[in-house]
Every structure is written in structure tokens, then in C-alpha cells.
Amino acid sequence: MANLSRFLVRRLATFIPTLIGVTFMTFLIATVVPGNPAKLWAGGEKASPEVVEQIIREYRLDRPLWEQYFFFMYKLLTNTMISPVTSNYVWDMIMERLPVTIQLTLLAFIFIIILGIPLGIISALKRDTIIDAVIRIMALVGLSVPIFWLAYLLIFFFFTKYRIITLAGTPEPPYSITGIPLIDSIIMLDFGTLVDVLKRYTIPAFTLAYPSIGFVARLVRNSFLDAMSGDYVEFMDARGLPPSWKYRHILRNSFIPVITVLGLIFGALLTGAPITETIFGLPGIGKFLLDSINNYDYLGLMGGVLFVGIIYLVVNLIVDITYAIIDPRVRY
Amino acid sequence: MECDPIVEVKDLRVYFYTYAGVVKAIDGVSFKICRGETYCLVGETGCGKSVTSRAITRLIYPPGRIVSGEIYYYPEPGKRVNIMQLSESELRRLRGEEISYIFQDPSAALDPLYVLGYQVGETMLAHKRVKSVKEGMRRAVEVLRTVLMPDPEKRASSYPHELSGGMKQRGVIGISLSNNPKLLIADEPTTALDVTIQAQLMDLLLDLKRERGLTLLLITHNLGLVAEYCDRVAVMYAGNIVEEAPVEELFEKPLHPYTQALIRAVPNPTRRIEKLEHIPGTVPNLVKPPPGCRFHPRCPKAFDRCRVEKPPLKEYSDHHKAACWLYEE
Amino acid sequence: MALENRRLLVGAAIVIIVLIAAVFFLAAREEAPVEETTTPAETGTPVEEETTPEKTETPTETEEETETTPAEETTPEMEGPEALVIETSQAFVVVGPEGASVPDFDNKGKPIIAVKFSVDEENTKPLEESVAFVDTSPSFYRNEYADALILAGRKIADPFVREQIYEAVYKLSNQELPLWWLGQYKVVFVYWSWVEGLYYHPTLDIRFDLITEDSDAPVVDLGFGGYQNGPNTWVDVTFGWPSTFDPAANYETFGWHIWHNIGQTLVTFWKDDTKNLIPELAVAWASNEDSTEWYFVIRGGVVAYDNWNDKTYEISALDILFTIWRINRLGLDPSWMITEFVDVNNSMVLSEEEFDQLLSGGGIYASYGDFSGEVKSLQELLQVFGYDGETAGVVKIKLYYPYAPILSIFADPFTSVIPMKYVFDNVEELQGKYEEALEASDYGKNPAAWEAYIGTGENDPSHILLHQKPIATGPYYIKEYKEQSYIVLEYNPYYWNKALWQEMFGEDKPQHERAIFLINDDAVARIETLKSGQADTGAIPLDRLEDVSGYQMPGTDYTIIVEEKGLSPTIVFIVPNALKEPFNNVLVRQALMYAIPFDQIQTSVYAGYIERLYGVLPAGFPGHNDDIVVKYTFDLNKARQLISESGINPSDYTIKIWYNKGNTQREKIANMLKTIWGNLGFNVVVEPLEWPTLLDRTEKGDFDVWIVGWAPDYIDPDNYAGPLMYGGTKFKVLETQQFDSVDSVKDFFKG
């Protein structure tokens, strides 16, 4: 595995240029293209020139682009950047929203795993039967249905008709271990808070997970079928191996692509889900990015993009390493 | 020659139920394999030889099905096992312990995620030759040694993709023989390998056969191998055995026109030829096979009866059978 | 490196270069000047050449007497400047430069208010250098007569004179049309029928302790924090988020709504009364004769509650001074309202004795209730205001110039008091320096010394502190909040005015012990939340009001009420560029005013919730009087007639109408105008622009037409006339006087 460390070093070396590229692009698009945001940040059309001046000075908007960019990035990374639109420390804002997104991600991920994978396996085992057809059609529906439509449907059923879920607030226990109420309440066996958290996050998580459930089910199905039709399966039969051992081999083989996709899905979930968060009123990262764009909060946007970039890079790296660990054919 | 049968197949039919129709892959095949011999099944691609070999241990997957026929296995002279009546677990015990297989592509036969030694050990554990996989992996080294694997310790902890084709096939052979079966079915074991390895492996197989008193069912389309290594040969065409004979007889006096054409088609490397011989036409559609003798559309000697009635496999001389109306008065 | 790697790198580099080039190219394109319309025919400020108040270039005398305009404006003679005579409802207003000739007219027994001016050319910024809204009007329209009236209105204290002057301004705005006035929004309340006592105030939102609920109102779980919506909790489901919790930086409605409930200002309005300011932190106030110095006597016993540290702070005049001084110092969004008028460094704190002595010297006047006149002692002043409790010092606020509406500004929530010691206790760099800062400022006599402790801008630590942990002096305090999710207010146990609650509820706390804002940006989710009873009221889009109106809570008699509560002071209008042809021609402006399809706009864009506006002042403000103005209708014939009179050829002009991207209401209006103006012969293009770009371009006059709205910062007509119509003229002389006869007016102008 000495190769692995070299591989890691090479990958980490590409982190920085990638993050710079991504944030610089965002910076250009956000600040240069639409024009000077100073007046907007100062209050709009009523803004007095002195206030606008002050903003220009404070945020170095009169300096060359390179200087502006590095100034922003430096302040972002040291968490000293205060957004002129929200008056908050940008990085703090992102971190505050992280628990919401994490809870959504965890629950959605659980849905994907407990629904997507078994459905995919059933679909594969019952290939070409009605069950298989139903599952595949539902998967297609899941990928095609607009999220907001599904969200409204679920809200109508679970909130309007049967007051099972809640649409407001973010349940938080008075104590904090990891900062994530879902996990904390389980650790502390605080079932009251746990129930509140589930009531709040379950349906949004399901909405978020739905298209991915379909996707993963299909992936698992195809992967499983692929693995099942591998010649080594026949050889395993020919060797007289018991069926459970056989399925162990098949599962392990079929899971390689699935695990990497799951990793990527986890990464995508972690970067937020703007529509779901908006409809269910959950202040997560996705909503933050959307709000930053709508409010012309370029600094918040840059911070958000930086965060998303880091998540993606790290998740991709982990997925690649995991792949290398699982599949001996892929080694660096 | 005295034949102490180890496997007997009677009137076996295996059909595949596909969207295109019912493929009658094997339509009434009967033969006997004698203990200790090397019995070869020869024919073109698609003639049904692989299916036949699989059918012996009921290794047929949907949409294929063994429709009818009898298959008997004689682990010892006098003891008969009706394979068609075995339960799943009995079948599993049979496979690997009594009857083992070697397949054509060793890369496909091995699970790429596990090291070779594990797969050997696993097989031994399945048949309770060892108590744990770890022990099995240790014994695997010995197994690999017996199949003349160079540097067996290293190879046992190697993944399949780290091994060459020849090494992989040795591994496969090792796996198959690890539980000391009585019958080894080798389906085109060397087709995927290059010629030099081919010879090595065939010699290995024969040595092992001799050492352990194995019976070998060899499936191939390579007449050279047949000539070199086989005792008796059965020629299959379109799901039927059309000729069966001891190897010298077959080459010296092939009865069936198909066999004759096959033999003629093998070019003589020492002679200069203008044109390669081929058999005109194509292998028939097994969903709707031609009536009568399935070879008649391509047979130079076909006549009316051939088109109407299917000739049975009959013995026309000493241990030499053929399915052809030519030899019926 | 390996060949493949090298190729990859080169490929990536090429892609990045192409992308950057594309972005720069785009950026450059955006900034290129837009040249399609004809270049402005009138540059600079042709103040002198005006003979009539209109900016027509045609030398022929176009009387503005088409049958649409009222005929008070007499035709000017072409010799020397003429005064402009405007009839208002109860007076005549005559405005003109020194030496102007006053035409004869019959003043019908009404008083005449004369405004005489002399323009200060040097100090009047040229229009090309002016900034829209700030230096001049958004349309860059400048009319020195109107400007004189507007500036005069600022300084006058007499309410009658003021009102007539603003009526004159209103009338001018209706004739001259510096902007195309469109409409004034109607206020719609959506609430459950168990809510009682809702009222509407144009700049101050409801105070939660002043409204009540039926005690049988259902109790509904909110699903977090154990909170429920019952009769004791007020829940509002809405969208957005207050821009900041620091009052000195907050310049939007949500933040003001909250601060109106957790803060206390010097003066305030009671419920929906927009006319009379009543004491809050200031129990009495007075000013010097020319209203440049104001004195506020501060109530004693007011305590600020710091719920984050469970501490309290007593409020004194020093904190008031500090609060106002700090608004100016930070220089954030709302600060202009202080910076423009208040000379903070020459404002100071006085003790009661010092103030008493000052009063005894004479020259200080108070006006409250029935009383208006000089007060000679603190005791006397307090009697005028009917106050006999404790006091905590006096604050002297110095203004740069007399500005009557300054009191309204002090009712705005952004001036809510912040205890100085709270800031010093909780900002790391300032800890332990409170005494030092007090001394340095000579205990409030020299606030400029505080510059060493409080900085400017977003990064000042006191701003960050208050942004995260606001401190309450009002009926409620912020108990907890989660950004973009909810805000929970709880009644303030240290509120000084518990007597009010005793009177209203018989207890030391209000019925609404708690007020919660639920935040959800999705309209459907808000509607469902309201319908479920989790909220008492909510922000429902205009086109969805029908869906909720009359909805009944199952199992009860309660329904959702959708109620029109009157007119809001928020207005929407269309801005022409008065520097460019053809909009520099008033006839064209009037023509296009006749080409606005208001009824259609009212129904299809605003679902009926807008009222027609004919001038710069909306209903509810002194000066707004629809009896004296032209009520433009949608009349294309008149429009065409005016256009032909103006002498322009519509097809010569390509007009770009801009609106801010995403605002569908303005988009619809723009498209309607495009069709109709197209019918008149103009080439019209509609373009959405990103808000910052739009602001940028319109700031300096780089536009043709755009659509925008305006919401007031404080209750005063100057907050409309100033930013929206004042053209930027500066005056050396500006005198206002009231007369009874035309002759005396003529003398006034000659002398």
C-alpha cells in the first residue's frame, strides 16, 4: 500500500488548485459580471453615498480582482469574513446549518439503503416478473417526478390530513454532544427529542431520498444481475458451494459499483437540497446557497461554494480510496 | 475393451425456453463414460457438448431445463446414484467431491475479489476437508504445489488478476481436484490459453489423472487434442451424438459424413494447400431444427430418407456407433 | 511527466483560459454604454432659461392648458422670472425667485403662502454628477420651484402651512410628472377569527402585547421546543429573515417589526395613530425657537434586560445619546437618517439641574396636546406632558438645520435604546473600559471621544455583539432564535410599563406571553401551517388569498379572515429619464401617463390590492389631496393628442423598460406598457436586470425607463417628496411667509 500514500499525496495536491478554481470562478461570476454590489449591500436605492463608500472600503471593492479574491478567501478561511447582507460570520453560518443538512442526509441515506438496496436485490432475484416490473417503474417515476410535487403530496397527507409531521422549527435538545440532535438524542436515550426530530425530518428526508432510491435500486439490480451471471457463479455451483456462500460472493462483487455510487450520493446529499429545504422550512446548506444567490450575498455564496467544493473533493477522495480497498483489481 | 461405467446418460433432453422459442439444445443423447478413461466430446460451437457436460450434474440454469432422460453415476462399481433424483444438498455434495469441473476461461471462473488460496480453501471447507478457511488456505499451498504452480505460497495469496492465464488454470485445476473427485469434466480447458501452455496443462491433467485414477471427460473442438489425449470420442452435431468410436477408429475410418468433413477440415501443416476445406452451410436453428437427420441440409450424401426420418445412433462395428442412414441397408 | 498527464494538464489549462476569457468578455459587454436611444438633448441644468416651469424645448408657447390640466398656471410673459401660483385646498401657494413678478389672481379669501428663493448656483450639483434618490430625483428631474417648496416644507413647523405647501408639491408632481405615479398598496391582513384587536400602522408593526385572542382559541403543538400556539402565544408564519438584530444597522421591515416589540424609542405612536407622537423613553420634549436643538427628558426606572447573561441595566440619558451617536458612527444602512440631520458630536447629556437652568434662561418651546409655548422650568415642562415620575437625565440633540420630521425619525425602531454598559461588558476589547470611556466623553458632554471605542462598518465588535445578542427594553425580549427557522420572543419581566398590562389584563404580564415567528419560504407550506392552526397569522401571497379566506378549523367555529385594512404607504411608480428625449418633454410624460392601463394592472397584477396614485404623496400623508389634482385615466386618444402636440415622432425612439429580474409583478407591468406604448408608435423593449446592475445603471442616469417602488422610513411627506421629487437645487435664500393679499405677496417678492 505504499502506492496508496503516493496516490493520496497526488490527490491532495490537486485539492488546492481545484478549490481555487471553483471559488475563483464563483467570485468572478458573482461579483464581476453583474456589476458593483456595494450599493446593494448598502441598502439599495436609498443608500447614501457615505455608506456605499464605507462598504467599498471595508470590502476592498476598489482593488484589483486578484486582491479582492485573496482578501475574501483569506477572511473566509479564518472565519473573519462578515457578510454585508446578513451581518454574520460566513463560515459560522455554514457550520450552523450543517447539523440540519447532516440530519437530512443521514435519514435520507438510511432510506436509500433500507429501501433501495433490498428493492434492487428483489428486483434482480425476481427478474422479469411483475414485482421486478413494478419496482423498475417506480424507480423511473422516482427519477422523473419533480421534487416539489412529491413534497406537497407528502405534506398534504402527513401534515394537512393527519397531523403526523411538523413543518416548523428545528428540534434541539438542551444538551449537545456532537451538535447533531438526531445522534445526541440517541446517545442520551432522550426519546422525546428523538421523536420530535423524526417528526420533523423524516418526510423531508424521504422526499430527498426518493429519486435516489429508484436510482440505487436500479443500480443494485443491474449490478447484482451482472454479478450473478458471472462465470465464477457457475464455477461455485460446480464446486458445490452452499448457496449462502455463493450469495456472499455475488453481493460482494455486485456492491463495488454500488458502494462508490452510495458514497457519491452521500456527498451530494451533504451539499444540501435547496428545494426540499425551502418547502419544508429547514435551514440547511442548500437553502443557504439559494438565499445567498437571491440576496446577492456574494460572500456567503463564495463561502458556501467553498464548503461544497471541499465536501465534494473529500467525499470523492474517500470513495476512490474505498474503491481501491474493496476491489483488489484497482490499486495505485 | 471392458467398460466399467462411471457415468451413464440415457436419452437426455435439455431444452431452453427463450423468447425466441424453445431451443432444443440436446435432443435425445445417450452415452457411457468408462471408469479411468479419457472420453472426449467433440463438435462445433453450439452443438450441445457444453450443455451435455453440465447436465451430468444438473448444472443447467433457467431458461434451460432438463426435460427428460436418465443420468446415473457409479461412484464404485455396483453402486448406482440416480442424479435426477438427488436433492439439492446431495447434488451439492456430489459436485466438487465426486464430479468436478474445469471451465474454459479461468479468469471468469475465479472471483476477482478473493485470493486464490481462499478460493481453494473455501472449496475444501465446503466439503469439510478442513475445519476453517484459514486451515484451508494453508492446505491450498500444498494443493497448488501438486498442480505444479511455481512459487505456490506467493500464488496462494495472490489475486486472480495478478496471475497469468496458465497459472489461473492451474489454480482452477487445483480447486477442482482439492477434494479428490472421481470424475473431472474439463470443458475446453486450454482454448483460452496459448499453445505452449496448452501442452503443459494437458500433460499436467494427464499426470494427475494417472496419479489419482481419475476419469476425464474432455470437451473440445480441437481435433489435435483429441488425437493426442483421448481414448474414446463422441462427435456431436446440433444436439445429438452422430458418431462415437475409439480414437484411432474415428480418425482412420470416420463413418458419419460430418465427422469426415470435420477431419478433412483440419489443415495439414506439412502440406501446401490452395483452399481451406469447410463444411458448406451453417449450424441449424435449434428452435426449429430440420426434420429428419439434422445434418441433411449440409450433407453431401443426403438422400430422401435423411430428410424425413432421424437416424438413431447404432453400433455398426466394434464399439463404433454412428447415426446415419447410409449404413442402414 | 508522463505524456498523458501532460496532455491532460494542457487540456485543462485551455479550458480554464477559455472560461475566464468568456467571463471577462461578458463582463466587459455588460459595462459598455448603451447607445440606442438618442443622446440627451438637454444637458446640465438649464435653470435660468426657464420661463415656464415645464421643461419644453419648443419655443412656441405651449400652454399647459389642455383640457386635462387645471388652469391656474397663468401663461408666462417672456420677461424676467415669474412666480408660480398654485391653488391648494385651503390656500394659495406662490413660489418664485427673488424679484419675480407675481401675476394677478383672485385669492378667493384664502391665505397666500409665499415662498421666495434665490438659487445657489455654485453649490448646486450638476445633474450629471448627481446620484438618484440621494442628490436628486430618480428621474433626474429638476425644477427649482418645486425644490424650493420641498425644502421649505422641511423647515416649517406650522402644520397648516406645511400641509398647504405639501399640497402644492403634490399638485406639481401630478402636473409635471417627474415620475409616472402608479399606485399605493392596500394592506391585507390574514388572521384567524380568534385574534382580537389587530391594527395597522404604516411604519410600526403590531405590538404583540396590545392584541389579544379569544381564550377558547385552540392549542396546537408546534413540534419543537415544546412550544404550542394557544391564546397565550402569538405565532406568525412568514418568510425571509431580519437582516440583523442590531437596530443601528437594521433597515428593513422584519427587523423593525421585531425591534418595535423588544426595544423602546424616545417617542412612539400608539397603535394605528399616525398623527400624534406620544412619550415612550422620553417623558417630555422641547426645542429651541428654530428647532435646531431638541431636548428630551428621559424616563426613570427603565431597565434593559440582558437575557443572555441574565442581567439588567438601568437606562439613562447617557444611553440614549450613546445609541444615537453609535448609529451615526457605525454608518450602516439606516444611518443616513441620523447622519443627514443630527450633529451627533455636538449633542450631549444634561443633568436635570442643568436643563432646568437652561429653561429658566428662556427660548425653549414645547408643543404637546393643547399646549404650545415657552416653558421656563423642568417642572413646567413635565406638567405640560402630565408626567410626575422619576427622570433619568436629559438628552440634547443638535440638528444641522431645522427639520420638523425629526421626531418621527425618533419613533423608528432603529433608534431603539442600547445600554452603553451592555456593549462594554460584552465586547472583549472593551471590557473594563466603561468608566474610562465615560470619563473621556466627560460623562456625555463630548460623545466624539467614544470614537476610540466604537468603530465603523460591519466589522465593528459592538455591531457583531448586538447582531447576535440583542438586548431588550421593550415589552418582549428575544428568547431564542435559529436562523431561517424561527424566532421566539418572550414577555419582558423587567418592562417598565407593567402598569399598562395591569390595566389591560389585570396582571403583570400580557395575554401574549410569547410571540413566535415561524420561517418558511414556501407559500404552500405557509398556507398549510396557517390552516393547521399552528399560526395565528401569516404571509400569504395575494393570488392565494382566496384559498384561505373563510377556511374553517374543523370542529370549531373559527375561520380565517382576509381583511383589507386600508392603504399602506408603500407606493410603486415608473421612472422616466427626464434628461433624455423624449421624456424631457412634459407633454410626452403626460401623454404616457394617459397610456397606463391602471385597471388592468390592478386586477391582473395585484389581484385588486392596489389603489391609484396621482402624485408623490400617498393617502394618509399631509399634502395628499385628490380633489386638487388631475385624475389621469387610461385614454389613448388623449395620449395621442398630447404626443402630436409635443411635436415628437414616436417612431424615432426606442425605449428600454427595465425591471429587477424575478419580480413578476413589474415584469407584467413592463410588458403591458410595451404593448400600449408600441401602439402609440414607440419602439419598446423590455429587459430584466439583476438588482445590483439595475441599481448601478439607474444611479447615474444610464437608463430610459424603469419600474420601482418606495416604502417610507418615517411618517412624513418629506420622506417622499425629498427622495422622489427634490431635484437637488441648493438655495442661498429661502423664505416662507403667509399673507392675506396678493399685493403684499408682490411686495414680498420685490423686496
Local confidence band at C418 (pLDDT 50, 70, 90 cut-offs): very high
- Name the CA dihedral angle for B50, B51, B52, B56, rounded to a multiple of 10 degrees: 110
Per CB-CB distance under 8 Å, the chain A contacts of B114 are 249
Local confidence band at C22 (pLDDT 50, 70, 90 cut-offs): low
Local confidence band at C69 (pLDDT 50, 70, 90 cut-offs): very low
> Cα(A284)–Cα(C347) distance, rounded to whole angstroms?
46
| A257 min Cα distance to partner chain B (Å) | 13
| A162 min Cα distance to partner chain B (Å) | 48
Nearest chain A residue to C460 by CA: give it.
A82
- Are C524 and A152 in contact (CB < 8 Å)? yes
- Looking at chain B, which subunits does it touch, using at least 3 CB pairs closer than 8 Å as the criterion? A
| Segment C406-415, tens digit of pLDDT | 999 999 999 9
Q: How many CB pairs under 8 A join A and C?
A: 190
Q: Measuring CA to CA, how many Å separate C352 from each of A161, C371, C379, C391?
A: 64, 22, 10, 8
| Segment A30-77, tens digit of pLDDT | 777 666 777 777 777 667 777 788 888 888 888 888 888 888 888 888
Q: Does the pTM of the predicted model rise above 0.80? A: no
Q: Report the amino acid identity of residue C329.
A: R
Of A29, A84, A278, the CB nearest to C23: A29
Q: Chain B within 8 Å of A240 (Cβ-Cβ)?
A: yes
> Cα(C615)–Cα(C173) distance, rounded to whole angstroms?
5
For chain C, give the percent of residues with pLDDT over 90.
Answer: 56
Q: The domain A93-326 belongs to what CATH superfamily?
A: MetI-like (1.10.3720.10)
Q: Chain A within 8 Å of B192 (Cβ-Cβ)?
A: no
- Give A71's strand partners: none
Per CB-CB distance under 8 Å, the chain C contacts of A29 are 23
pLDDT computed for residue C25 by the predictor: 64
> Cα(C3)–Cα(C114) distance, rounded to whole angstroms?
88
- Are A54 and C331 in contact (CB < 8 Å)? yes
- Are C30 and A87 in contact (CB < 8 Å)? no
- Are A281 and C522 in contact (CB < 8 Å)? yes
pLDDT computed for residue C67 by the predictor: 37
Q: Is chain C touching chain B, with at least 3 CB–CB pairs below 8 Å?
A: no
Locate the domains of chain C by residue range: 84-183+570-750, 198-241+483-558, 251-471
For chain A, give the percent of residues with pLDDT over 70.
Answer: 96
Local confidence band at C283 (pLDDT 50, 70, 90 cut-offs): very high
Per CB-CB distance under 8 Å, the chain C contacts of A294 are 662
Give the residue among C745, C739, C728 at the shortest CA–CA distance from C164.
C739
Residue C478 has pLDDT above 80, yes or no: yes
CATH class, C84-183+570-750 region: alpha beta
Domains of chain B, first to last: 5-98+219-327 (3.40.50.300)
- Are C131 and A49 in contact (CB < 8 Å)? yes
- Are A170 and C224 in contact (CB < 8 Å)? yes
Interface test with chain A among C243, C244, C663, C691, by most A beta carbons within 10 Å: C691
Interface test with chain A among C485, C551, C702, by most A beta carbons within 10 Å: C485
Number of CB atoms found within 10 A of residue B62's CB: 8
Per CB-CB distance under 8 Å, the chain A contacts of B176 are 238-239
pLDDT computed for residue C446 by the predictor: 92
Per CB-CB distance under 8 Å, the chain C contacts of A160 are 528, 531-532
> Cα(C313)–Cα(A299) distance, rounded to whole angstroms?
36
pLDDT computed for residue C456 by the predictor: 87
Chain A, residues 131-170, CB within 8 A of chain B, namely none
- Are C528 and A167 in contact (CB < 8 Å)? yes
Alpha helix stretches (DSSP H) within chain A: 2-27, 38-41, 49-58, 65-77, 90-111, 117-125, 130-144, 147-155, 181-187, 191-228, 231-239, 243-270, 274-280, 285-294, 298-326
Q: Say if residues B11 and B28 touch (Cβ distance below 8 Å).
A: yes
pLDDT computed for residue C686 by the predictor: 94
Q: Is the dihedral of CA C520, C522, C523, C525 positive or negative?
A: negative
| Segment A187-237, tens digit of pLDDT | 888 888 888 888 889 999 999 999 889 889 989 999 988 888 877 888 999
Of A97, A199, A278, the CB nearest to C522: A278
Local confidence band at C132 (pLDDT 50, 70, 90 cut-offs): confident
Q: Say if residues C125 and C135 touch (Cβ distance below 8 Å).
A: yes
| C679 min Cα distance to partner chain A (Å) | 32
Residues A280, A284, A290: CA angle, nearest 5 degrees: 90
- Give C358's strand partners: none
| Segment C545-592, tens digit of pLDDT | 888 899 998 888 999 999 988 888 899 999 999 998 889 999 999 999
Q: Is B186 helix (H, G, I), strand (E, B) or coil?
A: strand
**What phi and psi, each to the nearest 5 degrees, are found at residue C487?**
-135, 130
Q: Say if residues B39 and B53 touch (Cβ distance below 8 Å).
A: no
| C349 min Cα distance to partner chain A (Å) | 27
Q: Chain C within 8 Å of A199 (Cβ-Cβ)?
A: yes
- Are B161 and A326 in contact (CB < 8 Å)? no
pLDDT computed for residue C58 by the predictor: 34
| A100 min Cα distance to partner chain B (Å) | 38
For chain C, give the percent of residues with pLDDT over 70.
Answer: 91
Residue C34 has pLDDT above 80, yes or no: no
Average pLDDT estimate for A136-144: 84
- Are A232 and B109 in contact (CB < 8 Å)? yes
Residue C45 has pLDDT above 50, yes or no: no
Q: CATH classification of C198-241+483-558, choosing from 3.40.1350, 3.30.200, 3.40.190, 2.60.40?
A: 3.40.190
Per CB-CB distance under 8 Å, the chain A contacts of B91 are 240
Of A238, A240, A249, the CB nearest to B127: A240
- Are C335 and A278 in contact (CB < 8 Å)? no
Q: Measuring CA to CA, how many Å separate B40 from each of A16, A235, B44, B229, B230?
A: 64, 21, 13, 9, 6
Locate the domains of chain A by residue range: 23-77, 93-326
At how many degrees (to 10) do helices A65-77 and A90-111 cross? 70
Per CB-CB distance under 8 Å, the chain A contacts of B175 are 239
Residue A269 has pLDDT above 80, yes or no: yes
pLDDT computed for residue A306 by the predictor: 86
Average pLDDT estimate for C182-199: 92
- Looking at chain A, which subunits does it touch, using at least 3 CB pairs closer than 8 Å as the criterion? B, C
If you write DSSP's letter for every residue of B259-279 in order, what string do you get? HHHHHHHS--TTS--SS----
Interface test with chain A among C8, C219, C458, C714, by most A beta carbons within 10 Å: C458
| C345 min Cα distance to partner chain A (Å) | 17
> Cα(B105)–Cα(B191) distance, rounded to whole angstroms?
8
Chain A, residues 143-172, CB within 8 A of chain C, namely 152, 155-156, 159-160, 163, 165-172
Residue C49 has pLDDT above 80, yes or no: no
- Are A252 and B59 in contact (CB < 8 Å)? no
Q: Say if residues B74 and B265 touch (Cβ distance below 8 Å).
A: no
Residue by residue, pLDDT tens for chain B (329 residues) are: 578 889 999 999 999 998 888 998 898 899 999 998 999 999 888 888 889 999 999 999 888 899 999 999 999 888 899 999 999 889 999 998 899 999 988 888 898 889 999 999 999 998 988 888 888 888 999 999 988 889 999 999 889 988 988 899 999 999 999 989 999 999 998 888 888 888 888 898 889 889 888 999 999 988 888 988 999 999 999 888 999 999 998 888 888 888 988 888 877 777 777 777 778 788 888 888 888 888 888 888 888 888 888 888 888 888 888 888 888 75
Q: How many CB pairs under 8 A join A and B?
A: 75
| Segment A288-332, tens digit of pLDDT | 998 888 888 888 888 888 888 888 888 888 888 888 777 888 765
- Spell out the SS3 assignment of C78-140: CCCCECEEEECCCCEEEEEECCCECCCCCCCCCCEEEEEEEECCCCCCCHHHCCECCCECCCC
